[in-house]
Structure formats: structure tokens, C-alpha cells
Structure 1
Amino acid sequence: MTEQTFPMNAWYAAAWDVELKRALLPRKICGKPVVMYRKRDGSAVALADACWHRLLPLSMGELHEDNVICGYHGLEFDDTGRCVYMPSQDTINPSACVTSYPLVEKHRFIWLWMGDPALADPAKVPDLHWNDDPDWASDGKTIYAKCDYRLVVDNLMDLTHETFVHGSSIGNRAVAEAPFEATHTDTTATITRWMKDITAPPFWAAQLGQAEHVDRWQIINFEAPSTVAIDVGIAPTGTGAPEGDRSQGVNGFVLNTITPETDKTCHYFWAFARNYKLTEQARTHELREGVAGVFREDEIILEAQQEAIDKNPDHVFYNLNIDAGSMWARKLIDRMIDEEQTQKLAAE
């Protein structure tokens, strides 16, 4: 039996809101092919991407008003997944339907619930409000990563790798040497790291206009199963940032939510939000492209790691102190999976 690596009863980002138009958009989420589109009123729809009749992907068909017409034999399905037309017959088989997935549009993302629809509570959509908060300027991209989504979570929960992977931009020795605090709840894990009176790395020195004598913070907030919002920034040493006054500094949030496609591939949605110089669109573009370059370095590492794991399936991994965040994240993910499996057994 294959080990389950991701919970199904969770909200996963399936697309940026701007990706959905009056056209059929296919994507695989948690191992399931999905087709998404917008209805005439602008609301979004997500259906299983397989016709009830002969399983041809509905995404190979066409959108007609608010319905999808299969490109093989012309069966037509409405936004609930119900077949409303069959060629050459007046009676429609009552079992002719495809799954319609619960969907929420929030924080500039389309979120899908791939598990039990009765449990799909919109209030449980992960909090990434910085992505559309008027007090923040934000933009991002999507990475198609050829690795287990949990490897991305591991990478984000331990930022000491910045020293070695991102030394030319956001990393320096202070990140690897600074102490940190790990805390957690039943659904979240947090790593807090302050680096006081240090030299800022190039990226942050450019944002503040000052490199020497700064206080830097990284507060990593994980929300199970796969959302990580990282509170980052620097301020001149002595201006009160460690005590809570960040007004003299620059503050950003690195927003990440990772959606499993399969056990070894994932859709990695990210954005960088800032609360300074909000009207400078050029800066927003430059920051997005700069962060994209940083994350490309991560992508190379993660895919190489996945390849090595596949070649060494019996390798036992040992954890270091710096792995505290990823260890807690994994525990919370495993707890969600275990609860689902327990519920399934109880229902049988």
C-alpha cells in the first residue's frame, strides 16, 4: 500500500485568480485531474476533468455559456457537474455526473477542497491576506516543482540555507549563526529568529538604504498542511524593532502555499508583499523578479534532493537543531493524514 503523503481534507491553492477566465483550465490537484473556468457572472467552477461517458478530459471540450461540452460525444455538464444533455436521446441517465469540487476565491487564489465536501469550511482557508490587503503591495508567481511538496515546506521552515544557497542576495553568515525559538499549536508551527546589530545582505541593504548596524527578523509561520507566511525585514539597530517598533525599518511577507500534484510534483504558489513605497509599481516588479531568481536557486536544490531520495529509498535522515520547524510541520501534516485515515476506517 502506497504511503499517503498529503491530506485531502484541506484547502489547496489551485490557481491564481487571474488565471481563470472564460476558458477551460486543466490542472492536477492531489492526484486528481481538475478543470476550472469562470461562468458568465464571473464566479469560478471546478469539475473533475473526465467525462462520465468515456473519461475523455472535459478540458479537451468547449465552454458553452456556463456549461462544459465534452469534445468526444457532446455530453454537456453544468457547473454542479450534472449532465444536462445527451446526444440522440431525450432521457438523461440520472447517474451521469462528474464531481464538482468546493471552491473559494480568496487572497487572489482559487482554493479547492479535494476531500469530503461536507467538511469544506471556507473559514479554514489559509490566511494570506497580505496578498490583497490595501496596506501592502504584493505580487508573485507559480513554480512547478518536481519534488514532494513536503520538501518545499522543509526548505521554508529552515532558512539557515540562505547562508549557503542565497549568499549573493538574502543570505549571510548571521542567518546560520543566530539562535531561534520554535513554538507550535495543533495546526501551526512558528520559528522566530532575530539577528541584532549585523551587516544586512545585499537584498535588504538595497531596500533600507543601509547595510551596517541593522536588526533583522525572520518569523516563519506554518499553517498545516502546506502554507507558510514568513514575516521578514530589517531596521536600523537601536530603533526598537526587537521591541515591536518597526516604523524605521522595511517589512515584507514572503507568502507561500504549496499544492501537491502527485507524490513527487507540486504547484508552488508564492508572492512577496511589502508595506513600504506602495505606489512604486516598478519596485513591485523588481521585487517579484528578484525573489523569483532566489526561488529558482531553491528549485534546483529541491529537485536535486528529490532525485537523490528516489535513488536512495532506504536512506535514514537525521535531524539537526535547525530542523525543529520542519519536524513540527511534518508532525502536523502526519496528524491530519492519520485523522483522515481513522475517519475512513470508522466509516467502513
Structure 2
Amino acid sequence: MFLKNAWYVAAMPEEVGKAPLARTVCGEKLVFYRGPDGKAVAVEDFCPHRGAPLSLGYVENGRLVCGYHGLAMGCDGKALDMPGQRVRGFPAIKSYAVEERYGFIWVWPGEPEKADPAMIHHLDWAEKAEWAYGGGLYHIKCDYRLMIDNLMDLTHETYVHTGSIGQKEIDEALVSTKTEGEHVMTSRFMDGVQPPPFWRMALRMNDLADDVKVDRWQICHFHPPSHVLIEVGVAHAGQGGYHAPDAVKASSIVVDFITPETETSHWYFWGMARRFKPGDAALTTQIREGQGKIFNEDREMLEQQQQNLLRWPERHLLKLNIDAGGVQSRRIIERKLMEEVAA
């Protein structure tokens, strides 16, 4: 089961252009395209004539045309016309609430009348010129909740990401987890450590010395239905750590929008928002490529984990103090699911 009365990132704006885009979100088979006004829309990927996928068709003057027999569909899911046929009486297919905001296309896979754009998670950095963002998209073959577990417990960095962001001090630092309403926050602070390779690069790119000890932080924020935003950074040791002035630190927000596809697969929209050298496009590309390699290491581990869980479904997973962030996040998802079913 998925929480459907919620906003999920469904696509990047550049994915929805001249051709229709097929994408399954929370078990709903959707097709995205741009209507007559250029706005992104989504309807059920099902032609009411013979059941063909509308995503195999084309877009003409803002109308979605089925590639099987030429039935043209409107943005509201109603049939418009078809060569030589009368189709106005065809049953409408589902249409979905869609919003384009913060550089993403969001969809509400549940009841359209409950879709309030004000409920889209606010991204303050996306509205400010002093921030830059670069990211990508992975299709990952595992339960979306495994990715939430992964991101709310960064202990794995020591072992999965040894050549980029991992270091033994992550294991040694105390983890603090707290829940405020529907917000789960897991924090870890490491003072007086050597910066790992990725953060040495970030310091150099920020015109800072990379051969000195730093104070490092990781603050993971979960918000339903499945968003994880992580404040990360390093500052020259003794300068205030997380609260150090910008002149002595390199920091950013790791952006993770995790959109369920099926029970064992999801769409992972990842990226990094940074507040240094926002106009440096080459730096954005360099960071995106480095981050993409890091997240690809997660993908291999998570997909193999999913296969193990499918192979031995009767085995119970152990829970340690480092798992608290993921456990609390899952509890919020489960509670909201129960509320949605009851409603």
C-alpha cells in the first residue's frame, strides 16, 4: 500500500516535452505531457477505446493522441475526437493533479479534489539566487522505504562509500534522533577530523584549505510522504562547525525525493543544493557527477538487499540505535496510511 493523497516528485521538467512520458507512481500507470497552455498534465495511461497505452502515442496541439487508432484525449481525461468516429460519449479516464514547482513536476496520485498545492514541501533554497542545484534520477529496484532507511542512517557511508564520503569517525560519533510531529531528524557531528575525498574537493572548490582538520555534520530530515533532505558540510576545525561563517566552510543540502513505483521499485530524484559559487556551471556538473557515482553505490547495495528480503520473507530485521531515524519515519508513513484508509 502507498500513501496516495500526497505530493510526489514525478519527473524533471525536461522529461515532459514534445513526447508523452510514461511513469508509474504509487502503482498508478500515468502518462505526462504538456497541454495547450504548455502546462504539465497527467492522465491514466489507458486509451478508453481499446486499452492501448496512451504513452505510445504523440502530442499534437496540446492534445494527447493515441498511437493505435488516433483517439485524441483532453487534459481532463475526456475523449475529444477520432477520425470518422463519434467518441464524445466515451467514459473518461482518470486525470491527476499536477504542479510544476521548484524545478520539479509534482503529482498527487490520490483523490484530485484533495490536492492542495500549498501542501507541496517548501524548498526555501530553490527560490534564492545564492543557491545552485544539480541532480539526477535513478530507477531503483527496491522498496522505497529501504531507501528512506538508508538515508536516515548514514553509518553505511563508512563501508559503502569508502572512496568518497566515508570515514571511520562516522561510526564513532553519537547519533541523535528526534521526532516533532511528522518531521524526523537524525543528527551526527564529528569534530576535528580529516575531510574525506569528496569534502576535500568541496573545500578546494570553495577556495579553502583542504589539508587541515575539519568539523563535519550530517543532519537528516524526513518529511512525509517520502522526502529526505540532508544538511551536510565541513568547516575548518574550531570555527563553529555547523554554525561557522560561510568563509570557512563548505556546506550543502542533499536532496532526496523518493517516489514509489511498485512494492519493490521506486524513482529516486537525487541532487545537491549548495550555497557557494552558485554561478559556476562547471562546478555544478562536477558535483553532480561525483554525487551520481556515490548514489550508484547505494543502488547496488539496496537492490541486492531487496532480493535477499524477497528470498527470506520470514526473517525479521534487527533494530539498533542507528536505525531510529528510519524506524520513526516508517511509523509516520504507517500512521498516515491508516488514516487515509480509514477516511
Provide the TM-score with structure 2 as the length reference: 0.94
- Counterpart-to-counterpart distance in 1, 2:163 and 2:74: 52
Residue 289 of structure 1 pairs with residue 270 of structure 2: no
**Secondary structure class of the residue paired with 2:254:** strand
Shift of 1:42: 2.1
Residue 38 of structure 1 pairs with residue 34 of structure 2: yes
- Counterpart-to-counterpart distance in 1, 2:113 and 2:246: 43
- Correspondence list, 1:138-153, <5 A: 138-153=133-148
- Counterpart-to-counterpart distance in 2, 1:312 and 1:263: 16
Q: Closer, same or farther in 2 for the Cα pair 1:202/1:53, shift >3 Å?
A: same
**Secondary structure class of the residue paired with 1:101:** strand
**Secondary structure class of the residue paired with 2:64:** strand
Q: Which moved more, 1:332-341 or 1:39-48?
A: 39-48
What is aligned with 1:78? Answer: 74
State which of 103, 106, 109 in structure 1 corresponds to 2:101.
106
Unpaired stretches in structure 1, ≥5 consecutive residues = 344-348
Unpaired stretches in structure 2, ≥5 consecutive residues = 204-208
Shift of 1:100: 1.1
What is aligned with 1:309? Answer: 309
- Counterpart-to-counterpart distance in 1, 2:106 and 2:340: 20
Shift of 1:133: 3.3
What is aligned with 1:201? Answer: 196
**Secondary structure class of the residue paired with 1:328:** helix
What is aligned with 1:346? Answer: none
Shift of 1:86: 4.1
Cα shift readout 1:234-265 (whole Å, capped 9, x = no counterpart): 00112123446454201111100011110001
Shift of 1:98: 1.3
- Correspondence list, 1:50-199, <5 A: 50-90=46-86, 92-93=88-89, 95-131=90-126, 133-199=128-194
Shift of 1:134: 1.6
Matched-pair contact (CA < 8 Å) for 1:226–1:259:
yes
**Secondary structure class of the residue paired with 2:42:** strand
- Counterpart-to-counterpart distance in 2, 1:132 and 1:247: 22
The CA RMSD measured in Å over matched residues stands at 1.5
Residue identity in the other structure for 1:278: P
Shift of 1:89: 4.1
**Secondary structure class of the residue paired with 2:268:** strand
Q: Closer, same or farther in 2 for the Cα pair 1:178/1:124, shift >3 Å?
A: same
- Counterpart-to-counterpart distance in 1, 2:43 and 2:120: 19
Q: Which moved more, 1:288-297 or 1:69-78?
A: 69-78
Residue identity in the other structure for 2:19: A
**Secondary structure class of the residue paired with 2:96:** coil
Residue 272 of structure 1 pairs with residue 272 of structure 2: yes
Shift of 1:33: 1.2
- Counterpart-to-counterpart distance in 1, 2:291 and 2:72: 43
Shift of 1:54: 1.6
Cα shift readout 1:38-73 (whole Å, capped 9, x = no counterpart): 134321111111011221111112212111122223
What is aligned with 1:233? Answer: 233
**Secondary structure class of the residue paired with 1:200:** coil
Matched-pair contact (CA < 8 Å) for 2:38–2:62:
no
Shift of 1:135: 1.4
- Counterpart-to-counterpart distance in 1, 2:154 and 2:112: 36
- Counterpart-to-counterpart distance in 1, 2:85 and 2:37: 30
Q: Closer, same or farther in 2 for the Cα pair 1:243/1:74, shift >3 Å?
A: closer
What is the number of residues matched between the two proteins?
338
